[in-house]
Chains A and B, each alone.
Chain A
């Protein structure tokens, strides 16, 4: 069976159906082996509110084993520009689902890295930056391509057991995509929240149900261990045509600008609070109306007492995000809204710029990058 977004035309349904039949004839074992069998006793154990016996646990474990065998080969790492994310192959034609923020825009070259180390080239298709959905197409999908189909049944009641793979921290040599088991905690519009822990690099990786079908794509995390957010598969199904047609929409700014590191564009020091001593021309703070001599007292309702507080608050945001700044200017309390810009290279004179100079002073605090910390 193919999984059809509701907007498909009749003609397309026909052609897709034919394609599926043809593929089924050519590679029957591959095409039928992608979805994991779910025996009745395992389904019953999974449907319980909580497992009640070792036998239940064993049934869940065996089912997870079946899912893992299919999901891991279909999970890919994606290198897009300087960024590393994850994705999942969802059909034998080489379509990969990922997060919108992993691809950014259409037409970018993408290196697709499989769990066995194989690298193939692909190109980004569309992205919905409201839902954080994105697509990538492999240039030349191999005949033996492993894939995980998207789920027919999109409903995810709280407590549903789910599986996560992806490439946390980017591709690590000799490490297959780590498998994590969790449960759905709640769902919202286009969002699934689970206790499958995810982290940077996992973005775009699949959330799977216990049949090995894709039910979500990793998108973001909150500060607590149980705040792992995934784009619901319904967001893809609903906009399938637009995404496949390389349409990019949503978000509140030009995504290219949002790459890199957050930029407010002020200098200051801690003196009677967070004192701004300089506001740089044509940067977000200036555009918002900040002036030298302003004292920033709050960012998004979080109190700012020192310049270090401001650095912390800004660094915790992504480029493109809007902040609400509360400013004390003389006797007045003012409020400004500012959208952070992003930069890829350090500004002259900043600590980063000095670190990157050829004869940079080494310090104990800046040891060589550890391969375990980041990507390859």
Chain B
């Protein structure tokens, strides 16, 4: 960029950002690296500079008095926030110290509240798996068939897949089917003694508790239903290149840390095909890429120095690729990572559970312990999405039939009332 282009005047606003313009007061940080400004923002906001030193002293005193109580409940989750360090039990914080270290019992998602859900999730834990991709935890999954059938989030599956069960087993898995629309994949592991989950056709009401089941006795996280199921429009995937202004699909710039850069796309490459379909012009290429979603892998055929090569690139979402360009996106990323594919589901319910992207793909249960949904995405600071139970059961049945699974165990619980299945 030229000096002039760097004139410090602009966030690169898209039209989409207008919604956040009224939000000047919202303290901004640095997108994905929020911790640097955490303390200073809180302090500045509250006008507590003068008390800072005293409070830090008090906090160390409190920690000294109560000791460290991390992980006593066997929960191996790392810290979620600045606020969970100090007091677990009966002792409260000295005056003012709670601004920096909130006692965990106060948190909606703290260990004490989650412990109250122990019986709620106990039925679903044996049917929940951790999905590992190249040994990294990338998602959770839900067992939908005795003979090794597991449903999970499709777009995170790029590599060697294994499923880890609550009983400690870890089995390699293959992809037996994918529903692109809902971003669901059917996995197959070599087992014949799994405990399938019965997805409930009941739609939880707005305000109903929902618990995200993990492999441990307490839920990973809890929240409430925020919005009934609705269609979430497609969000275009971003490749991360700038194209020549002529009509050719010629790359003039590759943005760092994007799918294009990771795939090794270079300046002066001519991208002539995407997934086998010709992209003869700049516009054709742009249109073609926009039909894909963030998280999709696309195969690019490239003309480079007279040779044709093929690379595979993973599309990102606009805000991941350019988080500073969009204040709304930046605020949504304050507070934790988001799923790459997080929009474009034909039907999903919204809840307020704070999830990590790797905690999506597994069962969501109501207070009766019924699986009312499958978490599909962490989509913003205030929102997680789950595919509702009836839809999950439907997709699972379809994928299993296509994969040749024995149709003996329908993964949907038989209706006990005369109410129609809502779809």
Check A343 for interface membership: any CB of B closer than 8 A. yes
Check B38 for interface membership: any CB of A closer than 8 A. yes
For residues 74 through 118 of chain B, which have their beta carbon under 8 Å from a beta carbon of chain A?
Answer: 80-83, 92, 98-99, 102-103, 105-110, 112-113, 115-117
A56 CA / B112 CA spacing, docked (Å): 13
Residues of A contacting B80 with CB < 8 Å?
A: 225
A343 CA / B13 CA spacing, docked (Å): 12
Please state if B106 and A181 are interface contacts (CB–CB under 8 Å): no
Check B267 for interface membership: any CB of A closer than 8 A. no
Q: Known interface pairs A178-B350, A195-B107. Does A101 touch B343 (Cβ–Cβ under 8 Å)?
A: no
Residues of A contacting B208 with CB < 8 Å?
A: 61, 65
Please state if A268 and B382 are interface contacts (CB–CB under 8 Å): no
Counting chain A CB atoms within 10 Å of each CB, the highest count among B8, B11, B245 belongs to B8
Check A142 for interface membership: any CB of B closer than 8 A. no
Residues of B contacting A305 with CB < 8 Å?
A: none
For residues 322 through 376 of chain A, which have their beta carbon under 8 Å from a beta carbon of chain B?
Answer: 343, 346-347, 349-352, 355, 361-375
Check B170 for interface membership: any CB of A closer than 8 A. no
Check B419 for interface membership: any CB of A closer than 8 A. no
For residues 256 through 283 of chain A, which have their beta carbon under 8 Å from a beta carbon of chain B?
Answer: 258-269, 277-278, 280
Check B280 for interface membership: any CB of A closer than 8 A. no
Number of B positions contacting A (CB below 8 A): 119
Residues of A contacting B290 with CB < 8 Å?
A: 367-368
Please state if A224 and B38 are interface contacts (CB–CB under 8 Å): yes
Among candidates B4, B324, B380, residue contacting A349 with C-beta atoms closer than 8 Å? B4
Check A311 for interface membership: any CB of B closer than 8 A. yes
Q: Known interface pairs A200-B20, A355-B12. Does A178 touch B352 (Cβ–Cβ under 8 Å)?
A: yes
Among candidates B46, B227, B328, B354, residue contacting A374 with C-beta atoms closer than 8 Å? B328
Question: Quick one: CB contact mask for B1-22 with A, threshold 8 Å, 1 for yes?
Answer: 1011111111111111111111
Please state if A267 and B382 are interface contacts (CB–CB under 8 Å): no
Q: Known interface pairs A176-B227, A185-B98. Does A259 touch B367 (Cβ–Cβ under 8 Å)?
A: no
Check B218 for interface membership: any CB of A closer than 8 A. no
Please state if B22 and A188 are interface contacts (CB–CB under 8 Å): no
Q: Known interface pairs A169-B20, A197-B382, A373-B326. Does A367 touch B318 (Cβ–Cβ under 8 Å)?
A: yes
Please state if A84 and B324 are interface contacts (CB–CB under 8 Å): no
Please state if B242 and A372 are interface contacts (CB–CB under 8 Å): no
Please state if B108 and A54 are interface contacts (CB–CB under 8 Å): no
Please state if B18 and A219 are interface contacts (CB–CB under 8 Å): no
Please state if A223 and B206 are interface contacts (CB–CB under 8 Å): no
Please state if B27 and A170 are interface contacts (CB–CB under 8 Å): no
Check B40 for interface membership: any CB of A closer than 8 A. yes
For residues 237 through 272 of chain A, which have their beta carbon under 8 Å from a beta carbon of chain B?
Answer: 258-269
A311 CA / B379 CA spacing, docked (Å): 26
A346 CA / B335 CA spacing, docked (Å): 30
Check B362 for interface membership: any CB of A closer than 8 A. no
Residues of B contacting A100 with CB < 8 Å?
A: 25
Residues of A contacting B30 with CB < 8 Å?
A: 223, 312, 316
Please state if B116 and A227 are interface contacts (CB–CB under 8 Å): no
Please state if B22 and A269 are interface contacts (CB–CB under 8 Å): no
CB distance from A269 to the nearest CB of B (A): 6
Please state if B119 and A227 are interface contacts (CB–CB under 8 Å): no
Check A291 for interface membership: any CB of B closer than 8 A. no
CB distance from B293 to the nearest CB of A (A): 11
Please state if B382 and A351 are interface contacts (CB–CB under 8 Å): no
Please state if B106 and A169 are interface contacts (CB–CB under 8 Å): no
Check B41 for interface membership: any CB of A closer than 8 A. yes
A184 CA / B352 CA spacing, docked (Å): 16
Q: Known interface pairs A225-B335, A264-B8. Does A180 touch B382 (Cβ–Cβ under 8 Å)?
A: yes
A318 CA / B5 CA spacing, docked (Å): 21
Check B346 for interface membership: any CB of A closer than 8 A. no
Among candidates B18, B25, B117, residue contacting A220 with C-beta atoms closer than 8 Å? B25
A317 CA / B330 CA spacing, docked (Å): 12
A188 CA / B26 CA spacing, docked (Å): 17
Please state if B16 and A369 are interface contacts (CB–CB under 8 Å): yes
Please state if A169 and B3 are interface contacts (CB–CB under 8 Å): no
Among candidates A64, A101, A227, A316, residue contacting B22 with C-beta atoms closer than 8 Å? A101
Please state if A223 and B21 are interface contacts (CB–CB under 8 Å): no
A60 CA / B206 CA spacing, docked (Å): 13
Check A111 for interface membership: any CB of B closer than 8 A. no
Q: 30 A–B contact pairs at CB < 8 A?
A: A49-B105, A50-B116, A85-B23, A101-B22, A158-B92, A159-B106, A168-B382, A178-B226, A179-B206, A180-B352, A181-B108, A195-B106, A201-B19, A222-B38, A224-B82, A261-B9, A265-B7, A267-B4, A349-B7, A355-B12, A362-B286, A363-B243, A364-B239, A364-B289, A365-B325, A367-B236, A371-B233, A373-B326, A374-B14, A374-B16
Query: Shortest 7 CB-CB distances between A and B: which pairs?
Result: A170-B19, A83-B22, A223-B34, A375-B19, A369-B16, A200-B20, A225-B335
